[in-house]
Chains A and B, each alone.
Chain A
């Protein structure tokens, strides 16, 4: 399913999107499939699947640790596509790839998008590719009808916001704080103001990520956003519980508790 369709459906149902992030290959290469399917059962609306990179500049300790772990388990782009093809038919929700630029660049942009297309993945987020460097990537993404998700942050100027939304597809990833990923307290009034400003200029849905780790935050943010992205909290839960009996059930319950609608 494409993001556009998902957001349309959510709008009709008067619901907000709950998107969760998990890195591929964490805690084991062959657990990613079960984790994704469990998140789907728990009711998440889309999954951001991270392709691990050795030097994740924008990530905090929780995700750094998980991605290094996945790399130690042998995670790489080839293995990602191979593993994903084993469970993609069972996924009914949109999948978004999230990574840093170099692993994708070395695989080849065209090849990468071609593989995505063949596995029905229709959106991608690249953390270290700001607008200035994005032209070749956006051009290629359009050819394959793949949504390139753009970031807007509290430091993005109004002028820049206008430029960014011109190219935005799928949804806009609004970064809640200046900083890296990981649990934080958030200032809702600031956030709400920024997002209302952006909304005046675009129809593309806006989801808020970074720092969100509990259902209260989800509730508060959804009052002015089109959805939320929760990463570190789910990754932390996986790290602490994956050895337990009934791990997948526990993950499902925990995720449901954060979604809490």
Chain B
């Protein structure tokens, strides 16, 4: 079975629900990507920069202290050690070389936490692209360090003041820019969401996470893990970790969504409590009211603050290949503190959701072998956590 099929469907999920103006550019993108994948120079460039510039392969670290505290055998896939501090650079490098391959002149991107924005600003300055990044005005406020990083790197950061002023609205604006400037601009989408071929492309560029993890764990433990755990907003680090293990049916996948203030209140748990629908180019689980209007999401982790999710995750849910659970703001901050104190590693609040879930997992299955994707580092979140905990310096 080929996933996705030629029309970009993962079972009933996915597709290309976009205004006609974008049809031609998605087709162009699809053809270019298929060509690029077979082009030696493209593949070599991407691999070279992943290794020499971003710092791959990343370590698979046996977190002994955390394991002891929780009663699990935990390995952390250290995507936080990559250049720019998160897994987002994997996809940004892949797509920026694709933009070059296609002869585009300008890069557009959306960003939530700013990690994707920083990655895009970085690779754009590396390859000399003009770069415009849309970011919700609310996120601009709460992730000001990343905004400053993007500016230093030469990107133009455009605050978005429509809607809830977060990631979903930044995506809308990026699409509007792309519809307007389709001929010379490349839209560098940051997660496994949006219309085909984006969910597939981003997955392919992130699959290196799982590919390395599989080899590394086999070498260290001589067996496959019982569980893979990763946070899910749009779902790129989770899909990147899961993809290479798809056929290892004994390995269970757990995606951790953001329950925000709680599942009965504002949250970002599209798979846990949403319903299928069409939003930002694809059919997938979304948070919506009964009239099909998209709800505002909330998470303490700006990178998870999104009312939709990648269509392949919806497919994994449907076929029960993965289980999707959720962790609220409080549990995420507890995870953030726990990893910092036990291992001396400050995780991004997004990744802290995956850490926050481990306590639950330990209750179910003591001593299991678990690989957790530590998708990013937490420097960007210090202000949020300080405010949350009411810490005075």
Contact = CB atoms under 8 A, between A and B. Distances in A.
Interface stretch (A89-97, A101-109, A188-196, A241-249): A101-109
Contacts of A175: 20-21
Q: Give the interface size bracket for A toward B.
A: 35 or more
A31 interface: no
A55 B20 contact: no
Interface of A: 53-58, 60, 64, 68, 71, 76-78, 100-107, 127-133, 150-157, 160, 164, 175, 178-180
B280 A57 contact: yes
Contact of A155 (B7, B182, B275, B278): B182
B10 to A, nearest CB: 15
Q: Which 8 A-B pairs have the closest CB atoms?
A: A106-B292, A103-B292, A179-B180, A76-B291, A151-B20, A155-B24, A102-B292, A153-B21
B180 A128 contact: no
B96 to A, nearest CB: 23
B311 to A, nearest CB: 13
A177 to B, nearest CB: 8
A53 B279 CA distance: 10
Most chain A beta-carbon contacts within 10 A, residue among B20, B278, B280: B20
B179 A55 contact: no
A160 B288 CA distance: 33
Contacts of A154: 21
Contact of B19 (A53, A71, A151): A151
Q: How large is the interface on B (under 10, 10 to 19, 20 to 34, 35 or more residues)?
A: 35 or more
A127 B19 contact: yes
Contact of B293 (A76, A101, A153): A76
28 contacts: A53-B292, A54-B163, A55-B172, A56-B172, A57-B280, A58-B179, A68-B162, A78-B291, A102-B277, A102-B278, A102-B286, A102-B294, A103-B293, A104-B292, A105-B278, A133-B17, A151-B19, A151-B20, A151-B21, A153-B20, A154-B21, A157-B24, A160-B24, A175-B20, A178-B181, A178-B183, A180-B179, A180-B180
Interface string B178-207: 011111000000000000000000000000
Given A57-B179, A128-B278, A132-B23, 4 more contacts: A78-B291, A100-B278, A106-B291, A106-B292
A167 to B, nearest CB: 13
Nearest to B281: A128
B175 interface: yes
A54 B15 CA distance: 20
Interface of B: 7, 15-25, 162-163, 168, 172, 175-176, 179-183, 275, 277-281, 286, 288, 290-294
Contact of B180 (A157, A160, A178): A178
Given A55-B294, A128-B17, A106 B288 contact: yes
Contacts of B22: 155
Contacts of B175: 57
A107 to B, nearest CB: 7
B91 to A, nearest CB: 22
A143 B182 CA distance: 36
B288 A130 contact: no
A129 B15 CA distance: 10
B17 to A, nearest CB: 5
B163 A55 contact: yes
Nearest to A56: B172
Contacts of A151: 19-21
